[in-house]
Amino acid sequence: MAKEKNIKTNAMRILDKKKIPYKVNYYECDEFIDGIHIADKLSQSYDMSFKTLVAVGKSKENYVFCLPVDKELDLKKAAKSVNEKSVELLHVKDIKAVTGYIRGGCTPIGMKKQFRTVIHSSALNFSEIIISGGALGVQLFITPESLAASVAAEFENIIFE
In a domain, 116, yes or no: yes
Neighbouring C-alpha atoms within 13 Å toward the C-beta of 19: 0
pLDDT for position 33:
86
Model confidence at 137: pLDDT above 60? yes
Model confidence at 9: pLDDT above 80? yes
Q: List CB contacts of 9: < 8 A, sequence separation 6 or more.
A: 107, 110, 133, 134, 135, 138
In a domain, 14, yes or no: no
The tally of domains found in the chain comes to 1
125 close to 117: Cβ distance less than 8 angstroms? no
* CATH assignment at residue 32: 3.90.960.10
Model confidence at 36: pLDDT above 50? yes
| Region 33-53 average pLDDT | 96
pLDDT for position 1:
36
Residue 105 Cα distances to 47, 121, 137, 156, angstroms: 19, 22, 8, 23
Per-residue pLDDT of 61-103, as tens digits, reads 999 999 999 999 999 999 999 999 999 999 999 999 999 999 9
pLDDT for position 161:
85
Quote the domain boundaries for residue 139. Answer: 22-156
In a domain, 15, yes or no: no
| Region 54-66 average pLDDT | 98
In a domain, 74, yes or no: yes
Q: What is the pTM of this model?
A: 0.95
pLDDT for position 31:
84
In a domain, 78, yes or no: yes
| Region 4-23 average pLDDT | 90
Model confidence at 3: pLDDT above 80? no
In a domain, 8, yes or no: no
In a domain, 42, yes or no: yes
In a domain, 113, yes or no: yes
